[in-house]
Amino acid sequence: MRTRYDGIEAYTTKDGSIIRELMHPAIHGNHNQSLAEATIPVGSRTLLHRHRQTEEIYHVIAGSGVMVLGEERFDVMVGDTVCIMPDTPHQIANTGANPLKVLCCCSPAYSHGDTELL
């Protein structure tokens, strides 16, 4: 199975990020995980949230920002990868001069119903 980036429409998730679902079971027929590109515009941040069931991995592919992960707060930049365990409050803010782009891998796949705003 294959997707093409230019054929994927972006939408805004419950946490406020702009998402392109690169691969998701509800759309593409894969089974156990999802992969998306999240864009956080300059000066913006996602809402603090958590996922009860989903383990999430963020990989920064453009820009820079600040990550809140539970009680931790740290800078992130291109090449950084962060694992977000289920039930962990998290948020990412764009503190740079360009859009912050993050690849987000979720297992099980991302679901609005598993996203709790805090």
Report yes or no on whether pTM surpasses 0.85: yes
- Domain of residue 17, residue span: 8-117
Q: Judge whether 35 lies within some domain.
A: yes
Q: Judge whether 73 lies within some domain.
A: yes
Closest CA to 90 of 12, 15, 10: 15
Domains in the chain, number: 1
**3-class DSSP assignment, residue 7:** helix
* Mean pLDDT of the 90-96 span: 97
Q: Residue 53: its pLDDT value, please?
A: 96
Closest CA to 100 of 62, 67, 74, 71: 62
Q: Judge whether 3 lies within some domain.
A: no
pLDDT tens digits along 94-114: 999 999 999 999 999 888 889
Range of lowest pLDDT (23-27, 36-40, 71-75, 76-80): 23-27
DSSP 12-65: E-TTS-EEEEEE-HHHH---S-EEEEEEE-TT-BPPPEEESS-EEEEEEEESEE
- In whole angstroms, how far apart are CA 77 and each of 3, 23, 24, 95, 97? 26, 24, 26, 10, 12
Q: Judge whether 1 lies within some domain.
A: no
CATH of the domain at 105: 2.60.120.10
Q: Judge whether 2 lies within some domain.
A: no
